[in-house]
Each structure stands twice: as structure tokens, then as C-alpha cells.
Structure 1
Amino acid sequence: MPDTKTKTLTEQIVKYVKDTAQLYTDEWLGYNKVAKMYQHDLVNHGSSEYVQGDVYTNTIEGFWAGLKRGVLGIYHSWSKKYLQDYVDEFVFRYNTRDYSDSQRFNFLLSNAGVRTKYRELIYGY
């Protein structure tokens, strides 16, 4: 995403988020237009509000912080080309965080039925 301006955020949200989704955000002005298109609730961090009933952004903020630490700690740098792969790996880690090592391994194997070919990884086909 090139920036976090209203126009850019709105375009990306419309492109990637289902119109039936419920959005929880902070008070960033870039989210203003999505309130007209989606069910949108927010917390105002600027007023020290971090939770409003079921509305909070702490979980996703923690996930992104862990992703950033993990990528820099494991891979030492970012590559736009592989960004989705980094995110996929850390989503898997997050979603299986309560699994034992053997449960995680078995889950991984049960979902490993498709082989990724080199040309698909490198060239996208």
C-alpha cells in the first residue's frame, strides 16, 4: 500500500474487503469514508480509549508487531515480492499458537497436499 490517505485506504478496502464485513479501526482519518460503505466501529486511541465493548484493535496491532519482529529476526529484511508469503507464515503461526508442536506438525502435513513449483514461486504461473 503506497500510503494511508483516505483515497488509498478506501480503494484498498473496497477491493479486498467484503461489503458485509464489520470493520474495527482506530480513529485515523483515512478510514472516514468507509463508514458510509461498511459497518464501521472505532476506538479513539488519542483519547486513551482502547476498548469500546467488543470493539478494539489490540489483537491486530499485536499481530502486526509480531510479524515485523519475526520477519526482521528470521529473514533480516523485507521483500515486496514475498510479503504475502511472510504474512501467510505468521498467520499460520498465530492461528496455531495454542497447538503443541506435534499438533502443529500434523496440521501442517494434513494441509500440505499441493506442491509449489519453482516457476510458480518465482514467476507467478
Structure 2
Amino acid sequence: MYLRFVFADEDFTATLEDNPSARDLFSMLPLDLKISDYSTNEKIAYLPRKLTEEGSGRFESEAVGDLCYYAPWGNLALFHGPYRWSRGLIRLGRLDQGAKPLLVRGEHLLRVEIVSQPHLR
């Protein structure tokens, strides 16, 4: 399952994990959201409803470029800097081209849609 993200002249894809939360997100697409900076290492976008937390739990090998869901707040978290797992964080997938598009600062309209395969630059 692949997603396409478009905001502020940035256009990139992510490959989803095979877990219940990722499948739930996939079932909601397409979505028009707002993406904004949070802390110094991530961008966040609030979903119109919470995703299932079925099968969630601790994960390791956290990495720049991870696409996650933060269940307590109901938002996507796209990491452009190092982070550590915290309770309520569910990894949904990975950005295919790395985290560089996330370095654009500010709040922007974000389009999230399904694509048949990632486009690599």
C-alpha cells in the first residue's frame, strides 16, 4: 500500500506497513488535512477520526522518515529528525524518498491519496 503526500510544492510517497492502523488509514483516503511543525523533529496532521489501535505496541529501529500515528491525539506524525518510541505511537510506514520534503517550515494544506506504486526521485 502506497500513499502520496502533496503540500507546499512538495510531492512524495510513503510505503505503508501491513498492520491494522495502516489499513484503517488507507481506508480513509483521499484526505485533505493541515500539516504543521511540531517540536524540532516532526510534522503533524490531525485526522478526521481516530484510527484503530489494534495490534499496537512497542517498536524499535526508530528512524528519520518514519510515518507514525499518535493515538492519544489522533494525528499523523512524520519524522524528519531522530526520535524515540513513546506510548501511543504506532508506526504506519516509511517515506520512500527520505525526510527532506518535511523540512519546509510552517502550516500548509496537505493532500494524502492512494497511489499504485511509489515514485522515486
Shared fold, TM over 0.5: no
More strand by share: 2
Q: Which has the higher helix share?
A: 1
TM-score by length of 2: 0.22
TM-score by length of 1: 0.22
